[in-house]
Structure 1
Amino acid sequence: MAWLKKLSGAVVALGAAGAVAGWFLSAPVRLDAATVAQLGPGDAARGKRIFYAGGCTSCHAKPGAKGEARLELTGGLELKTPFGTFVPPNISQDAKDGLGAWSEEDFANAMLKGVSPSGEHFYPAFPYASYARMKPSDVADLYAFMKTLPAVAGKAPDHKLGFPFNIRRGIGLWKLLYLSSAPVIALADGASDKVAAGRYLVEGPGHCGECHTPRDFAGGVKKAEWLAGAVAAEGKGIVPNITPGGSAIKDWSEADIANFLETGFTPDFDSVGGAMVDVQRNMAELTADDRAAIAAYLKAVPAHANGYPARKKPAT
């Protein structure tokens, strides 16, 4: 049975080689020197725009916070997903429990690479897969604005994840498949500057595709069905299809979309509801030009059929 021993030895050797390769391939990758050099000192006034485009308060404000309290970014919201429950952390300026001790480079590595100051992968419930498309200068501006926000003590609870999702190192392999700074949609020749600006806001800081695009078995967005709608991350209800092929905004004009983002009212005078309430509140803080750009992009993206199963009609 010498051949069996040799075969077993070969299998063990291949397994060991695969484990070593996986370990190296899954290593956290930080920003290169050229990208770090593009950060610059940052401007807080410009960073305020990026802060609201990114919807930071939606996940990191204390659940139920209103008014100025929404700028106390203590985290704590529970995001229940098929992979477990993720809890956004305290990102206030508290030096112990928040980001107060982070350098600008630390912050940029988190936003663009999903890597913590200690060199660990962040889970992609933090939408760095979208933020990776942001300009380094915008990340620097956001960092400058974050520095103006209050420091609030208090550590958010840990994530509640079972095996194997509690092994952060594996996220490195996920990043190899899904983390890219390239735009999702190739614009048509002659596309306007307004559409290009909308692409940047939607695909980058706005991270609209994180909710409005269906995901595959590993939790990566299906870019071939970009913005086609999806089952809600928490498994209750659906997030609508916002391409020209869906019914949600198919018949809306660019002006209708921009007005909805500003006021929360649809063309037929219905009002925004559900999780979109907080998103719309953030969009209302942007400029009219930003909202018009988002609207122009949404009218220009490829049309797709709904990316979620058809809802069953109630029995009669």
Structure 2
Amino acid sequence: MRRIVLWTAGAAAFAAAALSAVIAWPVGSAPGPIGLQGNAQRGAYLARASGCIVCHSNFDEGGAPLAGGAPLQTDFGTFYPPNLTTEPDHGIGDWTAESFAKAVRQGVAPDGDPYYPSFPYPFYAEFSDQQMADLWAAFQTVAPVAESAPDHDVGFPFDQRWGLKLWRAAFFYDPKTDPVPGRSEAWNRGRELVRGAAHCGACHTPRNLAGGRDLGAVFAGNPALPGEGKAPSIRPGALAEGGWTVSSLSYALKSGLTPSGDAFGGSMAEVVREGTRFLSDADRDAMATYLLEGEDGGRERLAQRGPVAASATGQPE
């Protein structure tokens, strides 16, 4: 009996020590100085491509741009994107360019707390210092709004932010936006946007019970979006089966209209309205090119194999 008591006490002490270590474990790394001159116009373009406006603006309730977003309802609770205006007490007006870069690329707040993955920071991890300088310059032009977004409504145990450190260790993947030798300039630009700034995989990739993306099913669709929405597969096979072409997909990203004459609804309509319609024709064409060809040139192989193969395959990445 004494041995059991001692073993139990030892196990409890070990668990307490391990928990203390996780809580004290710092996340992220100190960013280097962002000393480059930023271009606000380029930064505003990147902010549109990255979905900053659509997520951090509650236009349906008459909110100001970037003053805090509409609630995002998930199985883990309801998240409220924060105020990103230049207001120092309620927004990011007292941040530095370096703390901003750490938040965007690493998902770590200035106080060292990790952000919830409702903020798609993993997709921004490969933004360059110049892109961060441009974004920072653009955000400095946003009018201050002296109102905080509501606190996240997240119950136990998901309200314990130290647990996000373990989540990051398991599910913080690099976006793989770097150019691939031998592929076209348009394809590589599309890859950079789709896998990075536009973070298409955040919605169009299924997630596991812990909220991590299933990397074996990238772009295969997600039947369980926040708010009970759904996102279809945007793999080459599924797009080909749906009759999409580079031209029609590019036009849909500009207009919100599909080849059948239908219109995007739900969150995709917002993505177009506040994001992709502001992109250049060349960038929308590039996104369409990458999605229809895929990582391994799947579009060409599907064309050679015929329409039956196109409809039967999910085009694994």
For the aligned pair, the TM-score class normalised by the smaller chain equals 0.7 to 0.9
State whether structure 2 residue 192 is matched by structure 1 residue 203. Answer: no
2:29 aligns to what?
30
Cα 1:11/1:206, change in 2 over 3 Å:
same
Measured on the aligned residues, the alpha-carbon RMSD in Å equals 2.5
**Quick check: 1:212–1:227 contact (8 Å CA) kept in 2?**
yes
Measure how far apart 1:216 and its partner are: 0.8
Consecutive unaligned residues of structure 2, counting only runs of 5 or more, are 299-312
Measure how far apart 1:24 and its partner are: 4.6
Within the candidate set 23, 39, 43, 2:39 is matched to 43
CA distance in 1: counterparts of 2:250 and 2:30, whole angstroms: 35
Within the candidate set 62, 68, 77, 1:75 is matched to 68
CA distance in 1: counterparts of 2:85 and 2:171, whole angstroms: 28
Measure how far apart 1:44 and its partner are: 0.6
**Quick check: 1:53–1:283 contact (8 Å CA) kept in 2?**
yes
2:223 aligns to what?
231
State whether structure 2 residue 6 is matched by structure 1 residue 14. Answer: no
SS at match of 1:85: strand
Measure how far apart 1:305 and its partner are: 3.7
**Quick check: 1:133–1:203 contact (8 Å CA) kept in 2?**
no
Where in structure 2 are the equivalents of 1:135-284 lying within 5 Å?
135-183=128-176, 190-246=182-238, 250-281=242-273, 282-284=275-277
Measure how far apart 1:194 and its partner are: 1.4
State whether structure 2 residue 283 is matched by structure 1 residue 290. Answer: yes
**Quick check: 2:105–2:124 contact (8 Å CA) kept in 1?**
yes
Within the candidate set 60, 64, 88, 1:64 is matched to 60
**Quick check: 1:194–1:293 contact (8 Å CA) kept in 2?**
yes
Between Structure 1 and Structure 2, how many residues are aligned?
A: 299
Question: Residue deviations 1:213-271, cap 9 Å, x none?
Answer: 10111111112111111024225231111112325874211111111111222223222
2:127 aligns to what?
134
Q: TM-score, normalised by structure 2?
A: 0.85
Instruction: Name the amino acid aligned to 1:19.
Output: L
**Quick check: 1:77–1:88 contact (8 Å CA) kept in 2?**
yes
CA distance in 1: counterparts of 2:49 and 2:230, whole angstroms: 22
2:106 aligns to what?
113
Measure how far apart 1:139 and its partner are: 1.9
CA distance in 2: counterparts of 1:99 and 1:273, whole angstroms: 32
Instruction: Name the amino acid aligned to 2:83.
Output: N
Instruction: Name the amino acid aligned to 1:211.
Output: C
Cα 1:249/1:292, change in 2 over 3 Å:
farther
1:313 aligns to what?
none
Consecutive unaligned residues of structure 1, counting only runs of 5 or more, are 308-316
2:308 aligns to what?
none
Q: TM-score, normalised by structure 1?
A: 0.86
CA distance in 1: counterparts of 2:108 and 2:97, whole angstroms: 13
Q: Sequence identity of aligned pairs in percent? A: 36
CA distance in 1: counterparts of 2:5 and 2:267, whole angstroms: 59
**Quick check: 2:175–2:195 contact (8 Å CA) kept in 1?**
no
**Quick check: 1:243–1:249 contact (8 Å CA) kept in 2?**
no
CA distance in 2: counterparts of 1:2 and 1:98, whole angstroms: 56
1:310 aligns to what?
none
More displaced, 155-164 or 224-233? Answer: 224-233
**Quick check: 2:239–2:292 contact (8 Å CA) kept in 1?**
no
Measure how far apart 1:297 and its partner are: 1.1
Instruction: Name the amino acid aligned to 2:250.
Output: A
**Quick check: 1:244–1:250 contact (8 Å CA) kept in 2?**
no
More displaced, 121-130 or 295-304? Answer: 295-304
CA distance in 1: counterparts of 2:182 and 2:239, whole angstroms: 27
2:83 aligns to what?
90
CA distance in 1: counterparts of 2:99 and 2:180, whole angstroms: 36
Which has the larger share of helix?
2
